[in-house]
């Protein structure tokens, strides 16, 4: 009964929130200054986002920072951000975070910096709520708006249920009206950066008319390279331990494989709200000797070099950075045929695209690689070759072309 009452309240509340937001956008369009023309200099870009991994930040910001048309990036973050040329990191004051919480304090600081410094481009990683705020602020200060859609369709699908946003996940069931509102918001951006072609197809099929650009991130191919010796364990998962990743399916798959390969070994690298429940599930399945949960690790490259192949079991994905790093390390990838993953993984060439994402299907692919070392070796070479096209230099060139197209005022 309480759950139904909660739904009765939260759905109208979020719809009202989005109506108020759209009203603010209309006001900002009417009263905000005209977008500036950027000629004879580089762009000053202001960004914000929720960052959990230094590698993740580097993959997306380093190519942008290295573009000759990027004069300066300021990024407002509650987390540490690695040093980069032309990059200034701004953290919200500790006192502000204590009063309002780290997320609200960060967004307040983001707005304050935009108003004070008048950037040329204002952008956010993820739509909820960083991207939404970026689109509104850009209009208020005469900047171009930029949305990094790193989570793919899940950021809007069913009203953002799987977006990991604390507000929108409270919907608990699909809300088509909220989804439609979010799709309209995506159409307001001057540029939308997606990780792969699947996200672009999704939005365009939904009628979104924003300017889409595919930039999957830039890999440091020297840091992520194939191992030179034998592997220490069979498979590795890298990612946040959250519901959308369906690590429970991976555990079930390992349990099935264990009947044929009793010594199968796996590492789960990452932290999140499901760390303890998944650890307990592994124990219940009798996998304590087979799977180690090692938590968050800063040196992902060294962990990838110790594995034979990479497994991802997500319900929805963009083009997973963890998968890209794994394949650059020479690891074949076993992943679901969802989102943008097929842009990089070619079935039976450099890994497997699992079209029926069940534990049995994943177990079958895992068993094939454990059974056939020659195939594992072929896949490994192909995985590295496939990942090489995602270099920092290539991604930086993409950014230069995008910024050049945005020089003139809309």
Which of 96, 132, 106, 121 lies closest to 51 in space, CA to CA?
A: 106
Structure token digits, residue 359: 């534990």
Which domains occur in the chain, in start order? Answer: 36-218+392-405 (3.40.50.2000), 235-390 (3.40.50.2000)
Of 350, 16, 393, which Cα lies nearest the Cα of 175?
Answer: 16
Contacts of 308 (CB under 8 A, 6+ apart): 231, 233, 234, 235, 331, 369, 376
The tokens 């070994």 sit on which residue?
265
Q: What is the pLDDT along the chain (410 residues), one digit of tens a residue?
A: 455 556 678 899 999 999 999 999 999 999 989 888 888 789 999 999 987 777 788 888 999 999 999 999 999 998 888 888 889 999 999 999 999 999 999 999 999 999 999 999 999 999 999 999 999 999 999 999 999 998 888 899 999 887 778 888 888 889 999 999 999 999 999 999 998 888 899 999 999 988 999 998 898 888 899 998 899 999 999 999 999 899 999 999 999 999 999 999 999 999 999 999 999 999 999 999 999 999 999 899 999 999 999 999 998 887 888 999 999 999 999 999 988 899 999 999 999 999 988 999 999 999 999 999 999 999 999 999 999 989 999 999 999 999 998 876 54
Instruction: Tell whether omega for the bond before 213 is within 30 degrees of 0, i.e. cis.
Output: no
* H helix runs in 74-175, sequence order: 94-100, 102-117, 132-141
Q: Which helix (H) or strand (E) holds 235?
A: strand 235-238
Can you read off the two tokens belonging to residue 118? 């008048």
Q: How far apart are CA 299 and CA 301, in angstroms?
A: 6
Closest listed residue to residue 254, CA positions, set 239, 242, 244, 265: 265
Helix H or strand E encompassing 258: helix 247-258
- C-beta separation of 309 from 235 below 8 A: yes
* Tokens coding 242: 């959250």
Contacts of 70 (CB under 8 A, 6+ apart): 42, 43, 45, 64, 86, 399, 403
Q: What is the DSSP string of 261-279?
A: -TT--EEEE--STTHHHHH
Q: Which two tokens stand for residue 256?
A: 């099935």
The 144-149 sheet, strands edge to edge: 87-90, 70-76, 43-48, 121-125, 144-149, 191-194, 212-214
Closest CA to 85 of 58, 48, 51: 58
Burial status of residue 285 (CB atoms within 10 A of its CB: 0-12, 13-18, 19 or more): middle
What is the bridge-based pairing of β-strands 235-238 and 144-149?
unpaired
Q: Distance (Å, rounded) from C-alpha 206 to C-alpha 216?
A: 22
Side-chain half-sphere exposure of 248, counting CA atoms within 13 A: 12
End-to-end CA distance of the chain: 51
What pLDDT, on the 0 to 100 scale, is given for residue 4? Answer: 57
**Alpha helix segments (H runs only) across 66-101:** 94-100
Residues linked to residue 48 through DSSP beta bridges, in sequence order: 76, 124
Rounded to two decimals, what is the model's pTM? 0.84
Query: Which residue from 245, 24, 284 is spatially nearest to 151, judged by alpha carbons?
Result: 245
| Contact between 193 and 49 (Cβ < 8 Å) | no
Secondary structure (3-state) at 391: strand
Q: HSE of 71 in the Cβ direction (CA atoms, 13 Å)?
A: 12
3-class DSSP state of 151 = coil
Residue 24: CB partners within 8 Å, gap ≥ 6? Answer: 136
């Amino acid at each position: 009964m309480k759950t139904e009452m909660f739904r009765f309240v939260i759905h109208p509340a979020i719809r009202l929130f989005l109506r108020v937001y759209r009203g603010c956008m209309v006001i900002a369009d009417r009263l905000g200054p005209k977008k500036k023309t950027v000629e004879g200099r580089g762009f000053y870009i202001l960004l914000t986002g929720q960052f959990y991994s230094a590698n993740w930040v580097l993959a997306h910001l380093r190519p942008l920072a290295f573009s000759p048309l990027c004069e300066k990036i300021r990024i407002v973050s509650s987390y540490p951000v690695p040093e980069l040329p032309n990059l200034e990191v701004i953290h919200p004051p500790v006192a502000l975070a204590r009063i309002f919480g780290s997320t609200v304090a960060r967004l307040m600081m983001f707005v304050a910096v935009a108003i004070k410094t008048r950037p040329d481009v204002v952008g956010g990683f993820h739509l909820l709520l960083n991207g939404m705020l970026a689109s509104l602020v850009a209009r208020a200060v005469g900047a171009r708006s930029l949305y990094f859609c790193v989570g793919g369709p899940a950021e809007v699908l069913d009203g953002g249920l799987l977006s990991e946003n604390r507000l929108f996940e409270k919907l608990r069931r699909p809300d088509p009206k909220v989804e439609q509102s979010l799709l309209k918001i995506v159409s307001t951006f001057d540029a939308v950066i997606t990780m792969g072609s699947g996200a672009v197809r999704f939005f365009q099929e939904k009628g979104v008319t924003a300017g889409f650009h595919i930039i999957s991130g830039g890999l440091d191919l020297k840091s992520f390279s194939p191992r030179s010796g034998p592997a220490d364990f069979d498979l590795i998962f890298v990612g946040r331990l959250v519901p959308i990743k369906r690590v429970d399916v991976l555990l079930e798959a390992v349990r099935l494989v264990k009947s044929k390969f009793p010594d199968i070994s796996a590492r789960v690298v990452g932290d999140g709200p499901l760390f303890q429940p998944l650890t307990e599930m592994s124990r219940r399945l009798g996998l304590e000797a087979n799977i180690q949960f090692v938590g968050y690790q800063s040196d992902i490259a060294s962990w990838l070099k110790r594995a034979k192949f990479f497994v991802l079991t997500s319900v929805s994905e963009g083009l997973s950075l963890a998968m890209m790093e794994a394949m650059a390390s020479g690891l074949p990838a076993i992943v679901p045929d969802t989102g943008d993953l097929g842009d990089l993984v070619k079935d039976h060439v450099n890994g497997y695209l699992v079209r029926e994402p069940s534990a049995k299907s994943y177990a079958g692919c895992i068993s094939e690689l454990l059974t056939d070392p020659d195939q594992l070796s072929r896949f490994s070479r192909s995985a590295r070759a496939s990942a090489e096209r995602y270099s920092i230099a290539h991604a930086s060139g993409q950014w230069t072309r995008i910024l050049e197209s945005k020089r003139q005022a809309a």
